[in-house]
């Protein structure tokens, strides 16, 4: 296509888009409307529409009648439509009604059947709120066909009847929206008038009629705005439903935590009596924290860390690596930065010490660290060790369950209740969706309450990993050990008596996040631990500096072993000025 032809074609599409795309290959042969103003103030409308689908296969037609109008001051005016009967070729036919935007749609036809050729549809409905009142008269201003038909209408006629002789004036218009072209009108009597088009109407054209009559002949009905589903949402029943469901849901979550998530603890009736019975009581009872100078029952750092926060964290694994080093299973060597702003790297190297006494999770970690050789650089663990890390954490969870510190794997418990909470939230979302679909406010209110309950359960899921009585007692003792590390300067004599205490306590300080504070305490106490044989730094040994280095190592190692590889991707008056009207189409 030549450029000038393409330009003219696009220009034509831009100027005449509606007619080009809206036109359909069928016609309306006649549109007959009988409009009766009732003594009640309602208007009864009977429309007989003769459509010709030719060879097209159609289910039927739809008729759109506006129920929202805009006044000259841009305020909204509402009407009400009630369908009483729909027939096709003299027989009843399936139809459904619904609101679409500002239109009331009557969709006529059987979705399981198609028709072709000539079809006559008769629609009967009542319209309320379509009469106007002025100073000297009242008025019916009615758009007979509406401008929204996508096909031509060969002939249009309408008859208006009043309940009593009272007509004072009549007029009508035809053509596109806003047209003042007159149509043909005739007053038959003081109570009836007849209107007809002077020509066939093209798609998008309309016939409007106006009948003025004696003021006060019938009531002028004022239709209030349609009630919104949001209005019902703030009604007493909806609010009550929301409150009841929310309270029941949150109470259920609280009960679930009290019965299945809250820790239980055991204590001896008298600490000095080994034969005293153990009591199992809820956590509500007061727990006395006593300083402990060593890890209770020689628990390893990762076991301690998992008991403290009920999670097998990457930091617990990092502390285990340092713990393995302090126990002689590996060495850590700090390497100098290769350039001024470069990052410090570390080399981990295994020793010849027998690993048969390592706990299962420690052995898993040890074997996976050195699966490719006797030494590994921390920088080489990035984007590689994250899968190994998960296996180590799984083993650690198995360990604390086997130790009878937890009833179940804490991570599995959290996930179970998390997914349960998500399921409750999805159920609430479905209730809200159905509520909006079927305009049932109480269903929406219930759905919101269910979602809130689901969110409460999701939050609570993080606290559902219940410790056993033994686990809770061990947690209490660990808290005493943490108190000792965090206030190490108060127990100076202990560190003087045991020279290697710094190395033994260091992995636990990492778990508690107290590494630098613990090392600084040694400086304040005037104690300078010996250079650890398992760690080689780039500067002369100093407890405070070493604490900073180990803290940096711990943070860097945690980041390295948890790093996953990044994924790759490609990234006055006139036609159409009254009530009624609208239009329709086929389907």
List the Cα angle 197/199/205 in 5-degree steps.
75
Instruction: Please give the pLDDT value at position 69.
Output: 86
Q: 300, 337, 368, 328: which is closest to 549 by C-alpha?
A: 337
List the Cα angle 296/496/523 in 5-degree steps.
100
Q: Are 154 and 197 in contact (CB under 8 A)?
A: no
Task: Give the CA distances from residue 387 to residues 283, 390, 399, 467, 561, in Å, rounded to whole numbers and listed in that order.
Answer: 37, 5, 19, 27, 9
Token pair listed for 305 = 């860390």
3-class state of residue 502 by DSSP: helix
Residues 6+ apart with CB under 8 A from 145: 31, 33, 153, 156, 201, 205, 206, 207, 581, 583
Q: 512, 500, 526, 416: which is closest to 460 by C-alpha?
A: 416
- Spatial separation of the C-alpha atoms in residues 355 and 327, rounded to whole Å: 11
- Spatial separation of the C-alpha atoms in residues 413 and 411, rounded to whole Å: 5
Instruction: Please give the pLDDT value at position 8.
Output: 43
- Spatial separation of the C-alpha atoms in residues 71 and 337, rounded to whole Å: 78
Instruction: Please give the pLDDT value at position 503.
Output: 83
Residues 6+ apart with CB under 8 A from 527: 492, 495, 496, 502, 543
Element housing 87 (H / E): strand 80-88
| Number of residues written out for the chain | 587
3-class state of residue 58 by DSSP: strand
Q: What is the dihedral of CA 463, 466, 467, 469, to 10 degrees?
A: 130
Handedness of CA 498, 499, 504, 508 (dihedral sign): positive
**DSSP letter (8 states) at residue 532:** P
Low-confidence ranges of the chain (pLDDT < 50): 1-22, 266-280, 282-285, 567-571
- Spatial separation of the C-alpha atoms in residues 196 and 202, rounded to whole Å: 15
Distance of CA 216 to the CA centre of its chain: 54
Handedness of CA 411, 412, 413, 414 (dihedral sign): positive
Residue found by looking up tokens 């795309």 in the block = 21
- Spatial separation of the C-alpha atoms in residues 286 and 264, rounded to whole Å: 12
- What is the rounded radius of gyration, in angstroms, for the C-alpha atoms of the chain? 42
Token pair listed for 374 = 């006797």
Task: Give the CA distances from residue 316 to residues 1, 394, 471, 502, in Å, rounded to whole numbers and listed in that order.
Answer: 72, 12, 17, 18
Q: 41, 223, 183: which is closest to 573 by C-alpha?
A: 183
Map 124-190 to HEC letters: EEEEECCEEECCCCEEEEEECCCCECCCCECCEEEEEECCCCCEEEEEEEEECCCCCCECEEEEEEC
Q: Are 67 and 103 in contact (CB under 8 A)?
A: yes
**DSSP letter (8 states) at residue 223:** B
List the Cα angle 381/387/393 in 5-degree steps.
105
- Spatial separation of the C-alpha atoms in residues 302 and 314, rounded to whole Å: 9
- Spatial separation of the C-alpha atoms in residues 180 and 157, rounded to whole Å: 18
**DSSP letter (8 states) at residue 343:** P
Instruction: Please give the pLDDT value at position 11.
Output: 43
Handedness of CA 408, 409, 410, 412 (dihedral sign): negative
- Spatial separation of the C-alpha atoms in residues 359 and 357, rounded to whole Å: 6
Q: What is the pLDDT of residues 58-67, one digit of tens each?
A: 999 999 998 8
DSSP 385-418: THHHHHHHHHHHHHHHHHTTSBSS-HHHHHHHHH
Task: Give the CA distances from residue 51 to residues 124, 175, 208, in Å, rounded to whole numbers and listed in that order.
Answer: 17, 20, 21
Number of H helices, E strands in the chain: 16, 25
Residues 6+ apart with CB under 8 A from 442: 232, 237, 238, 241, 435
Note the CATH number of domain 25-226: 2.60.40.1730
Distance of CA 371 to the CA centre of its chain: 44
- Spatial separation of the C-alpha atoms in residues 82 and 332, rounded to whole Å: 85
Q: What is the pLDDT of residues 33-79, one digit of tens each?
A: 999 999 999 999 999 999 999 999 999 999 999 888 888 788 888 98
């Amino acid at each position: 296509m030549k450029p000038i032809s393409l330009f003219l074609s696009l220009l034509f599409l831009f100027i005449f888009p509606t007619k080009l795309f809206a036109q359909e290959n069928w016609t309306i042969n006649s549109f007959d409307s009988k409009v009766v103003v009732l003594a009640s103030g309602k208007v009864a409308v009977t429309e007989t529409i003769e459509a010709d689908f030719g060879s097209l296969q159609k289910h039927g037609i739809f008729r759109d009648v506006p129920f929202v109008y805009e006044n000259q001051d841009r305020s909204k005016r509402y009407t009400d439509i009630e369908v009483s009967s729909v027939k096709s070729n003299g027989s009843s036919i399936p139809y459904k009604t619904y609101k679409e935007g500002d239109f009331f749609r009557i969709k006529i036809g059987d979705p399981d059947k198609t028709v072709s050729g000539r079809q006559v549809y008769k629609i009967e409905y009542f319209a309320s709120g379509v009469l106007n009142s002025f100073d000297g008269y009242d008025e019916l201003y009615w758009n007979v066909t509406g401008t929204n038909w996508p096909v031509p209408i060969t002939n249009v006629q309408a008859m208006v009847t009043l309940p009593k002789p009272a007509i004072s004036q009549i007029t009508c218009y035809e053509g596109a929206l806003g047209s003042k072209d007159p149509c043909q009108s005739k007053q038959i009597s003081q109570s009836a008038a007849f209107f007809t088009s002077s020509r066939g109407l093209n798609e998008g054209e309309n016939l409007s009629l106006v009948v003025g009559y004696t003021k006060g002949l019938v009531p002028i009905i004022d239709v209030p705005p349609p009630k919104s589903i949001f209005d019902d949402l703030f009604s007493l029943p909806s609010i009550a439903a929301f409150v009841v469901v929310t309270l029941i849901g949150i109470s259920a979550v609280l009960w679930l935590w009290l019965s299945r998530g809250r820790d239980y603890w055991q204590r001896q009736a008298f600490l000095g009596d080994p034969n005293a019975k153990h009591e199992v009581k809820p956590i509500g009872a007061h727990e006395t924290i006593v300083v402990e100078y060593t890890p209770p029952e020689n628990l390893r750092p990762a076991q301690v860390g998992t008991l403290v926060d009920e999670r097998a964290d990457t930091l617990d694994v990092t502390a285990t690596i340092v713990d393995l080093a302090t126990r002689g299973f590996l060495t850590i060597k700090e390497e100098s930065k290769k350039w001024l702003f470069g990052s410090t790297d570390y080399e981990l190297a295994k020793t010849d010490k027998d690993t048969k006494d390592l706990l299962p999770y420690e052995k898993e970690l040890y074997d996976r660290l050195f699966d490719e050789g006797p030494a590994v650089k921390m920088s080489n663990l990035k984007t590689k060790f994250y899968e190994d890390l998960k296996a180590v954490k799984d083993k650690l969870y198995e360990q604390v369950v086997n130790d009878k510190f937890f009833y179940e794997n804490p991570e599995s418990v959290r996930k179970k209740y998390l997914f349960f909470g998500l399921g409750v939230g999805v159920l609430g979302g479905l209730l809200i969706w159905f509520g909006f679909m079927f305009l049932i406010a109480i269903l929406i209110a219930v759905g919101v309450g269910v979602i809130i309950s689901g969110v409460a359960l999701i939050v609570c899921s993080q606290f559902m990993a219940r410790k056993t009585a033994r686990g809770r007692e061990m947690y209490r003792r660990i808290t005493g050990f943490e108190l000792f590390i965090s206030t190490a300067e108060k127990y100076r004599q202990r560190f003087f008596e045991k020279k290697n205490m710094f190395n033994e306590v260091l992995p636990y300080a990492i778990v508690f996040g107290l590494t630098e504070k613990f090392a600084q305490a040694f400086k304040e106490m005037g104690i300078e631990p010996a250079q650890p044989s398992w760690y080689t730094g780039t500067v002369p040994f100093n407890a405070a500096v070493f604490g900073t280095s180990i803290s940096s190592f711990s943070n860097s190692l945690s980041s390295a072993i948890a790093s996953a590889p990044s994924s790759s991707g490609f990234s006055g008056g006139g036609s159409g000025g009254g009530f009624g009207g609208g239009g329709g189409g086929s389907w």
